[in-house]
């Protein structure tokens, strides 16, 4: 899956374009993040990656909105991937 394909998946989910753009920029600007997301998609949703990446982004939105209310900085997608929720990655 190319960077374009990952970004396209993010834009298809387009709940809040500003939030989704932030994630697209993070994927583009973080070395290796695209490959780590591709690996997670291969482990979790090889047949249909859309619900899997949607889950990641929705989880990040939920966690980061709670963190914002607590005055804490947002977690990155990398931190979300390796925070324990995605079992196969964290073994």
pLDDT score of 47: 79
DSSP letter string, 27-82:
HHHSTTHHHHHHHHHHHH-SS-HHHHHHHHHHHHHHHHHHHHHTTPPPPPHHHHHT
pLDDT score of 23: 86
Buried residues in 44-81 as b, exposed as e (16+ CB within 10 A): bbeeebeebbbebbebbbebbeeeeeeeeeeeebeebb
pLDDT score of 39: 86
Q: How far is CA 24 from the centre of its chain?
A: 9
pLDDT score of 71: 96
pLDDT in single tens digits along all 91 residues of the chain: 566 666 666 666 556 666 678 888 999 899 999 998 888 888 886 778 888 888 888 889 889 889 999 999 999 999 998 887 776 666 6
Q: How far apart are CA 27 and CA 3, in angstroms?
A: 8
pLDDT score of 26: 92
pLDDT score of 1: 59
């Amino acid at each position: 899956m190319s960077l374009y394909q990952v970004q396209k998946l993010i834009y298809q989910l387009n709940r809040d374009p500003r939030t989704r753009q932030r994630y697209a920029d993070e994927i583009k600007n973080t070395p290796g993040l695209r490959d780590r997301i591709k690996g997670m998609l291969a482990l979790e949703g090889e047949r249909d990656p859309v619900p899997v990446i949607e889950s990641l982004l929705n989880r990040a939105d939920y966690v980061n909105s709670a963190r914002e209310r607590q005055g804490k900085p947002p977690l990155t997608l990398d931190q979300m991937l390796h925070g324990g929720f995605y079992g196969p990655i964290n073994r």
